[in-house]
């Protein structure tokens, strides 16, 4: 029920992903509405689980949790808690999803704050940035938790063996940054996988696996890169003449821009995992289309297959 | 003496700017080295002021201040303090420049932290972001100081009448963000020029004048946007065939990229002012070329002509 294009795009994406999924795909929401979007021939592994309420995209997370006990978010998270589902995927209100999963699933032992991990394209492929928006107020020790969670995802889902972790900072050398960054550096330094500071510019050009920062910085980085990419695309468009004859010469530009747009398209990855809880939640962009939902579901299947939550639990027990 | 291409590019830029400057242009540094880069015919308003020491680009700011009392940075800042110069322009060690100017000039009354203000291109022209890197650890009340300083620069140097100030945040509505952002919002809200929160994405697409944030976030935004812009340019380049015949079809792309590169070129603005002190310092990029230095000098002349420091002093007295 969540997302700007729900339920039609969500259900379309689910239908596309269903054949590739190993278990059942539970569609949580208002039964009549969900069923009205389903074709007469539904894949055998799709099932509707009723939830009478919906959380609005701008509703306050904790209010929604208290007031709407039969929301699709609560019902979805509860399915995981009850062992009836392996993971919960949503394009709904990010704050409400994060808060609900936290309250119902609770943190993995020794983890204090959940984090959203975002895959970002760079010259060498993709790196993982976290926290991209789950826990706005954190202490330096929480960045060590993020590092451990990010390493598990980078290895198990993105396929990077023995991933290194960088601290996002405003200088490369040790001792750079604000008090928070300096203290984080000291704590991260105790781990063999720590690779030092990295600056915002360099994460796009150097081969990096995992970058940790607080959610304010992480979310700002994410939105800044979206803004700059969109600005450049707009500026390029403005250079192209509007007259159809004059436009002809610019046809190769389309060929150049297409793969670029594909690399920059959030829908290619589909969703970002909420890490650190006793359950797996994949958070999709509010404006998710069917392709984004499909890719988020496939990625979530990969995380289940590779025992992501268990890996984080084992790493936290060993390293924290 | 400061900058990756000093002194040759610095002196070239100074020679190019000199005819357009109203007063004297004092070149501070080791006399023999500076003079060896000057042509036989030097513009009448250029003068060399000797300074026997240089601060290295990676030297620690306070150590440099304590140990090199005859550095070009200290001598330059002292010229302003003594009333022999109206402003100090440097492409040297940013931290050392900021610290030295702070120690020699001191803060304007009621201002507690200096800030570096950076002009950033967006769809509507340019906006001003501060603090871009001067004061890593600040309190919410310092963001109000930055706002007042930024407004003065936006109006007096960038020519925006009655500029509005946005708070960089990870959500648009009041109440969004971390504890620091929430408290900053409350303090900024008391001023008529406050226009609310803005997200990292929207500052590139909406018409904004001034955006305030702490130096860690500001510097990260700056470097992230550099990184993303460079990544996109690299990705576009990779699409273009290497074979000269095949390349021909891509010639219009050059025409498209040229104005884009110009818009993104730091050298077009040249430098970023260090605001909040009893003196005017323009900080140039370490890799400044002659064009960057020339533009930084012209912009600094504009700030002098429009009484920037006095305007900040008056606004601080009235509004803080």
**pLDDT band at A116, cuts 50/70/90?**
very high
In this prediction, residue A252 has a pLDDT band, given cuts at 50, 70 and 90, of confident
- The answer on pLDDT for B264 being more than 80 is no
Mean pLDDT of B100-106: 98
Is some CB atom of chain A closer than 8 A to the CB atom of B242?
Answer: no
Check residue A233 and give its pLDDT: 86
- ipTM for the whole complex: 0.93
- Measured in angstroms, the CA of A111 and the nearest CA of chain B are apart by 20
In this predicted structure, what is the pLDDT of residue A300?
Answer: 97
**Residues A150, A275: Cα–Cα separation, whole Å:** 8
Q: What percent of chain A has pLDDT over 70?
A: 100
- Among A216, A235, A261, the strongest candidate for a mutation testing the B interface, having the largest count of B CBs within 10 A, is A216
> Which pLDDT value is given to residue B259?
76
Name the nearest CA neighbour of A94 among A281, A234, A260, A221.
A281
Instruction: Work out the minimum CA distance from B25 to partner chain A, whole angstroms.
Output: 32
Contacts of A237 in chain B (CB under 8 A): none
Comparing A231-235, B145-149, B310-314, which segment has the lowest mean pLDDT? A231-235
Residue window 45-74, chain B: list those with CB within 8 Å of chain A: 58
pLDDT of residue B146: 98
Q: Which residue of A has its CA nearest to B58?
A: A173
Q: What pLDDT shows up at residue A243?
A: 85
> Which tens digit of pLDDT belongs to each residue from A165-193?
999 999 999 999 999 999 999 999 999 99
CA B191 to chain centre: 25
pLDDT at residue A1, rounded to an integer: 94
Backbone angles phi, psi at A160, to 5 degrees: -95, 115
pLDDT of residue B252: 73
pLDDT at B235: 85
**Percent helix, strand and coil across chain B, each to the nearest 5:** 50, 15, 35
The Cα-based distances of A4 to A124, A185, B74 in angstroms read 32, 39, 57
Q: Determine if the pTM surpasses 0.90.
A: yes
Measured distance CA(B203)–CA(A185) in Å, rounded: 30
B221/A216 touch (CB, cutoff 8 Å), yes or no:
no
Please report, for residues A284, A285, B190, the alpha-carbon distance to residue A3 in angstroms, rounded to integers and kept in the order given.
8, 8, 35
B253: pLDDT strictly greater than 80: no
Taking only the tens place, the pLDDT of each residue in A11-45 is 999 999 999 999 999 999 999 999 999 999 999 99
Q: Which pLDDT belongs to residue A8? A: 96
Q: Which residues of A touch B255 (CB under 8 A)?
A: 239
Q: Does A120 touch chain B (CB under 8 A)?
A: no
Place of tokens 């995802």: A153
pLDDT digits (tens, 9 = 90+) for B144-183: 999 999 999 999 999 999 999 999 999 999 999 999 999 9
Lowest-confidence segment of A100-114, A240-254, B144-158, B183-197 by average pLDDT? A240-254
Q: Which residues pair with B273 in a beta bridge?
A: B282
Judge contact between B73 and B96, C-beta under 8 A. Answer: yes
**pLDDT higher than threshold 80 for residue A315:** yes
Mean pLDDT for chain B overall: 94
Quote the pLDDT of residue B247: 80
% chain B with pLDDT above 70: 100
Average pLDDT across chain A, whole number: 94
Q: What does the angle CA A22 – CA A24 – CA A27 come to, to the nearest 5 degrees?
A: 135
Question: Within an 8 Å CB–CB cutoff, is residue A219 touching chain B?
Answer: yes
Judge whether B199 is closer than 8 Å to chain A, CB to CB: yes
What chain B residue is nearest to A236 in terms of C-alpha separation?
A: B256
**In the beta sheet, which residues pair with residue B88?**
B281
B118 strand-pairing partners: B129
Rounded CA separation A82/A184 (Å): 36
Q: What is the pLDDT, as a whole number, of residue B239?
A: 80
Give the tokens for residue A245.
């004859």
pLDDT at B269 over 90: no
Q: Indicate whether B93 pLDDT > 90.
A: yes
Identity of the residue in A200, A205, A227 whose CB atom sits nearest the CB atom of B202:
A227
């Amino acid at each position: 029920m969540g997302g700007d294009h729900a339920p039609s795009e969500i259900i379309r994406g689910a239908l596309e992903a269903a054949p590739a999924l190993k278990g059942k795909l539970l569609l949580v929401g208002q039964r009549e509405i969900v069923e009205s979007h389903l074709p007469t021939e539904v894949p055998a592994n799709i099932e509707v689980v009723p939830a009478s309420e919906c959380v609005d995209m701008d509703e306050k997370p904790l209010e929604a949790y208290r007031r709407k006990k039969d929301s699709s978010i609560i019902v979805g998270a509860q399915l995981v808690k009850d062992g009836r589902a392996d993971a919960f995927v949503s394009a709904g209100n990010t704050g409400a999803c994060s808060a609900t999963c936290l309250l119902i699933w609770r943190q993995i032992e020794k983890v204090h704050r959940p984090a959203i991990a975002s895959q970002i394209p760079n010259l060498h492929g993709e790196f993982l940035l976290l926290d991209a928006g789950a826990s706005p107020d954190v202490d330096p020790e929480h960045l060590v938790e993020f590092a451990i969670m990010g390493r598990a995802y980078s290895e198990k889902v993105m396929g990077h063996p023995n991933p290194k972790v960088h601290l996002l900072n405003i200088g490369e050398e040790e001792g750079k940054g604000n008090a928070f960054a300096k203290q984080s550096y000291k704590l991260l330094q105790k781990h063999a996988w720590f690779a030092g500071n990295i600056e915002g510019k360099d994460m796009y050009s150097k081969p990096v696996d995992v970058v940790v920062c607080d959610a304010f910085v992480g979310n700002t980085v994410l939105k800044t890169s979206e803004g700059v990419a969109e600005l450049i695309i707009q500026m390029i468009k403005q250079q192209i003449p509007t007259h159809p004859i004059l436009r002809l010469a610019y046809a190769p530009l389309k060929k150049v821009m297409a793969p670029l747009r594909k690399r920059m398209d959030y829908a290619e990855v589909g969703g970002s995992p909420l890490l650190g809880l006793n359950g797996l939640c994949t958070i999709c962009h509010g404006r998710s289309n069917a392709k984004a939902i499909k890719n988020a579901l496939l990625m979530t299947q990969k995380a289940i297959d590779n025992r992501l939550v268990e890996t984080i639990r084992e790493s936290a027990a060993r390293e924290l």
